[in-house]
Structure 1
Amino acid sequence: MTARGDADRAARPSKLKVARRRPRLVPRGNRTLTLLVALTVVATMVVLIWPTNAPMTVLIVPLLLGSLLLGPRQLPWFVVFVMVMLMLAIVRQREITPRIVLAITVLYLLCFIVLLTSFRRSRLGVAGVQGESMLVDLRDRILSQGKIPELPDTWLTETALRSAGGTPFAGDFIVSVGTPGADRLEIVVVDVSGKGEQAGTRALLLSGAFGGLLGALPPADFLPAANEYLLRQGWEEGFATAAHLSLDLVTGAFEVRTAGHPPPAQLDAGSGRWTVHEGEGPVLGLIEDAEFLTIAGVLRPGDALLLYTDGMVETPKRDISLGIDRMLGQAESLLRGEFDGGADRLVDSLGSRNDDRALVLIHRR
């Protein structure tokens, strides 16, 4: 009896597990579709019962909700269902007036627009709200790559990014690497070919790749490795410019290497003058085995350094050298005695609103 009772008790958990694994009447993925179908049926019944008081346009509500919440596999069938319900509502109309004809036309036109949207969305494979949340997450990941780590109190580092047309996606991005308590800061400012949303996808891929390379390689090897990575992609417009800074936070000694990028500018606190560090380096992604010259210098207390993209200094009607002179003139007035918030002030006052802009301001207090 004891052995049999033990066997029965041992079998009970397995039976419970089997019971728990029974399929649901309505899978979780279809709950939204079921609720929307029920809402459509209720709306249709209201139109059928009170045809003179309830307009057929109430069917727009479930149609709009479906376009936002349903995935690309479910949405086309739901749109067809809404169109069938609309046909039932038309049958019960006592009199077909021009106003009703116009409402019917608009409703069917909206159904076809939602269908076209679902076919385009099928390439992504997610619903509208989910797709938007994914894009927001991707944008946040790009921005997080450029977050400056905690630095000693003697250092101020600010970044500012503006995209063409004010969109949240840009071809300019910043990547920084450093750990709390570390004595070295690595920053790279990148300008991907194109602007706005067109360059945003390439910027996302490159920001992740450059974030992995930055700090994992010696400073002198970063740009050659980034150049090889871009060459392997085989993009038709797969080039980018970059400026890489490696800064010793103890001594203030720095090294800058540029790849087809505007030259960095340094403020000498003793003389109050800005110096442009001209360097040579080919654009990333065009030439194999490219070599990049090193610009070395020291940031003393009171000094500052600017890294920026061409959107800050270049416009169709102005040469880049004149744009650099204008930027440094603005820096003299906007940063005089107050560096906090200086990056945003410079970006907002300079550059073209039709081009992406990025700037890094480093100040040794």
Structure 2
Amino acid sequence: MTARSDADRAASPSRLKVARRRRRIVPRGNGTLIALVALSVVVTVLVLIWPDTAPMTVLIVPLLLGSLLLGPRQLPWFVVLVMVMLMLAISVQPNITAKQVLAITILYLLCFIVLLTSFRRSRLGVAGVQGESMLVDLRDRILSQGVIPPLPEGWLTETALRSAGGTPFAGDFMVSVGTPDADRLEIVVVDVSGKGEQAGTRALLLSGAFGGLLGALAPPDFLPAANDYLLRQGWEEGFATAVHLSLDLVTGRFEVRTAGHPPAAQLDAGSGRWTVHEAEGPVLGLIEDAEFIPVAGVLRPGDALLLYTDGMVETARREIGIGIDRMLGHAERLLRGEFEGGADRLVDALGSRNDDRALVLVHRR
């Protein structure tokens, strides 16, 4: 073991030297560029040798691959290379017909489109596939913030989220904190100004910040801290509404605080009636030193609680009060005797498809 490790340590400097030489010859990240250049040259040579057989449109293949795989620094030069290869291919064509002129025009148009795309992509600084992977990772992270932790026996919590236009990015999001052995569950439902992808970037930032605040602060301090955080951002459209639930999983006692958000609704299993908990609090990000007055209650066995965004109850033709009554009417029918899957049923049945919709259902069995 000692002799082998000594040999490995002795060989490591030589390996480093070889790796450095390779990087000098082929810098890191340029392997893809070299492969695409070689492919373009091979395609052009085939067109030059067999102009009647190999079509010029084959150059679309390396062009599209380059637009997907190359970074913003490499892609413009590669597009220029493809355009030069196209000029060489045109020079050997025996008879250029009107059909070929149209094909050449389309090829050059595609080159200019890819070139413009590379200039826009330079703001991000990564290739197309890498940029998409980053966005997918960010999307998964924001969705993971809203995953409800495992709860003690006797509790059921479900979430449902639908974005405007059906895209994975939404201005509505949920954040929750809790552990299997903890006796308290914290849930926040947030509606960022805007909708769909326009609000998605702000929602990505706020979900991480709110997740850290929710786990570090006492329940009365969360919304004031979130309000201060939004004020510091200085966004032109930087406001958001939120509803915060702090639930004792042993006694069922809870506190709800809202910040310009639709009120929580509680089902009393004994009477079968829904109660709307109107809490007081301004929209986040507009007023300094804002106060958020809590509403307290108790979830007894059989009771349920709904937290939701305005996309569930408000439309251009319907006021929010009427929308809440309509939602509770659907909840009475859709949740009767069966709460599992109720969040998805309610979100699919209610709200505007042109607005983000989010809903949290908490049920004590």
Provide TM-score, normalisation by structure 1: 0.96
Letter in structure 2 aligned against 1:159: T
- Structure 1 10/87 Cα, relative in aligned 2: closer, same or farther at 3 Å? closer
Letter in structure 2 aligned against 1:215: G
Q: Please state how far the C-alpha of 1:300 moved relative to its aligned partner.
A: 0.2
1:39 matched residue in structure 2: 39
Letter in structure 2 aligned against 1:19: K
1:137 matched residue in structure 2: 137
Correspondence list, 1:115-126, <5 A:
115-126=115-126
Aligned residues: 357
In the TM superposition, what whole-angstrom CA distance separates every residue of 1:189-226 from its partner, at most 9, and x where no partner exists?
Answer: 00000000110010011101100000211101110010
1:101 matched residue in structure 2: 101
1:19 matched residue in structure 2: 17
Q: Please state how far the C-alpha of 1:180 moved relative to its aligned partner.
A: 1.6
Q: What are structure 1's unaligned runs of at least 5 residues?
A: 1-8
Aligned partner of residue 215 in structure 2, secondary structure? coil
Q: Please state how far the C-alpha of 1:49 moved relative to its aligned partner.
A: 1.2
1:293 matched residue in structure 2: 293
Aligned partner of residue 215 in structure 1, secondary structure? helix
Q: Please state how far the C-alpha of 1:23 moved relative to its aligned partner.
A: 1.7
Q: Please state how far the C-alpha of 1:26 moved relative to its aligned partner.
A: 2.1
Greater shift in the superposed pair: 22-31 or 226-235: 22-31
1:174 matched residue in structure 2: 174
Letter in structure 1 aligned against 2:313: V
- Identity between Structure 1 and Structure 2 (%): 84
Correspondence list, 1:291-330, <5 A:
291-330=291-330
In the TM superposition, what whole-angstrom CA distance separates every residue of 1:84-122 from its partner, at most 9, and x where no partner exists?
Answer: 000000000000110111111000000000000000000
2:4 matched residue in structure 1: none
Q: Please state how far the C-alpha of 1:22 moved relative to its aligned partner.
A: 3.3
Q: Please state how far the C-alpha of 1:11 moved relative to its aligned partner.
A: 11
Q: Please state how far the C-alpha of 1:74 moved relative to its aligned partner.
A: 0.3
Q: Please state how far the C-alpha of 1:333 moved relative to its aligned partner.
A: 0.6
Aligned-partner Cα distance in 1 for 2:180–2:82? 57
In the TM superposition, what whole-angstrom CA distance separates every residue of 1:290-310 from its partner, at most 9, and x where no partner exists?
Answer: 101110000000000000000
- Structure 1 242/87 Cα, relative in aligned 2: closer, same or farther at 3 Å? same
Is 2:24 the partner of 1:50? no
In the TM superposition, what whole-angstrom CA distance separates every residue of 1:137-180 from its partner, at most 9, and x where no partner exists?
Answer: 01001100000000012000000000000011000000000012
Letter in structure 2 aligned against 1:207: S
* C-alpha RMSD of matched pairs (Å): 1.4
Provide TM-score, normalisation by structure 2: 0.96
Aligned partner of residue 190 in structure 2, secondary structure? strand
Aligned-partner Cα distance in 1 for 2:340–2:34? 55
Q: Please state how far the C-alpha of 1:13 moved relative to its aligned partner.
A: 4.9
1:156 matched residue in structure 2: 156
Aligned-partner Cα distance in 2 for 1:342–1:10? 61
In the TM superposition, what whole-angstrom CA distance separates every residue of 1:245-285 from its partner, at most 9, and x where no partner exists?
Answer: 00000000000000000000000000011111111110000
- Structure 1 12/248 Cα, relative in aligned 2: closer, same or farther at 3 Å? closer
2:3 matched residue in structure 1: none
Aligned partner of residue 142 in structure 2, secondary structure? helix
1:3 matched residue in structure 2: none
